[in-house]
Amino acid sequence: MDIVKGLEAWSRLLGQDSIIVDSQVLQTYQTATYTTSAQILAILKPSNRQQISPLVKIANEYSIPLYPISGGRNWGYGSRVPVKDGCIILDLGNLTEITDYNEELAYVTLEPGVTQGQLYQFLQERHSPLWMDATGAGLGSSLIGNVMERGFGHTPYGDRFSQVCGLEVVLPTGECIHTGFGRFPNAQAASVYRWGVGAYLDGLFTQSNLGIVTQMTFWLMPAPECFGAFSFSIDKDEELPALLDALRPLRLDDTLRSAIHVGNHYKVLSSVRLYPWAEMEGKTPLSLAVIEQLSKSWDYKAWNGFGGLYGSREQVAAARRLLKKALAGKVARLTFLDDRKLQWGERLAPLYQKITGIRLPEMLKIMRPVYDLMKGIPSSRFLESTYWRKKTPIPEEMEPNRDGCGLIWCAPVVPLDGKHAAVINRMATETILSHGFEPMLSLTLLTGRCLGCIISISYDRAVEGEDERAMACYKELSAKLTGEGYYPYRLGIQSMDLLAKAEDSYQHLMDQLKQTLDPKGILAPGRYQP
Shortest Cβ 226–a second copy spacing (Å): 11
Applying CB under 8 A, the span of 270-278, 352-360, 414-422, 467-475 interacting with a second copy comes to 414-422
Shortest Cβ 176–a second copy spacing (Å): 6
Choosing from 238, 292, 314, 430, the residue that interacts with a second copy (CB under 8 A) is: 314
3 state DSSP class of 159: strand
Q: Is residue 178 close enough to count as binding a second copy by CB under 8 A? A: yes
Shortest Cβ 184–a second copy spacing (Å): 5
Residues 468, 270: contact at Cβ < 8 Å?
no
- Label residue 515 exposed, middle or buried (CB < 10 Å: 0-12, 13-18, 19+): exposed
Shortest Cβ 123–a second copy spacing (Å): 16
In order of 119, 267, 271, 471, the CA distances from 456 in angstroms are 28, 9, 12, 12
Q: Is residue 197 close enough to count as binding a second copy by CB under 8 A? A: yes
Residues 86, 418: contact at Cβ < 8 Å?
no
Closer to a second copy by CB, 44 or 445: give it: 445
First to last CA, the chain: 23
Distance between CA atoms of 26 and 23, rounded to whole angstroms?
A: 5
**Number of other CB atoms surrounding residue 438 within 10 Å:** 25
Shortest Cβ 324–a second copy spacing (Å): 13
Dihedrals φ, ψ of 478, to 5°? -60, -40
Shortest Cβ 193–a second copy spacing (Å): 5
Residue 334 identity: L
Residue 55 identity: L
Binding footprint of a second copy, residue count (CB under 8 A)? 93
Q: Which of residues 436-465 bind a second copy (CB under 8 A)?
A: 446-450
Choosing from 4, 16, 127, 185, the residue that interacts with a second copy (CB under 8 A) is: 185
Q: Which of residues 320-379 bind a second copy (CB under 8 A)?
A: 321-322
Choosing from 29, 34, 75, 107, the residue that interacts with a second copy (CB under 8 A) is: 107
Taking every pair of Cα atoms in the chain, the longest distance, rounded to a whole number of angstroms, is 71
3 state DSSP class of 211: coil
Q: Which of residues 115-174 bind a second copy (CB under 8 A)?
A: 150, 156, 161-162, 171
Q: Is residue 50 close enough to count as binding a second copy by CB under 8 A? A: no
Q: Which of residues 200-259 bind a second copy (CB under 8 A)?
A: 200-208, 210, 219, 221-222, 224, 248-249, 252-255, 257
For residue 264, list its beta bridge partners.
Answer: 303
Q: Which of residues 494-513 bind a second copy (CB under 8 A)?
A: 498-499, 501-503, 505-506, 508-510, 512-513
Applying CB under 8 A, the span of 74-82, 270-278, 463-471, 480-488 interacting with a second copy comes to 480-488
User: What is 274-320 written as a DSSP string?
Assistant: ---TTTTTT-SSPPHHHHHHHHHHHT--SEEEEEEEEESHHHHHHHH
Choosing from 125, 186, 329, 464, the residue that interacts with a second copy (CB under 8 A) is: 186
| Radius of gyration for the alpha carbons in the chain, expressed in angstroms and rounded | 23
Choosing from 260, 349, 517, 524, the residue that interacts with a second copy (CB under 8 A) is: 517
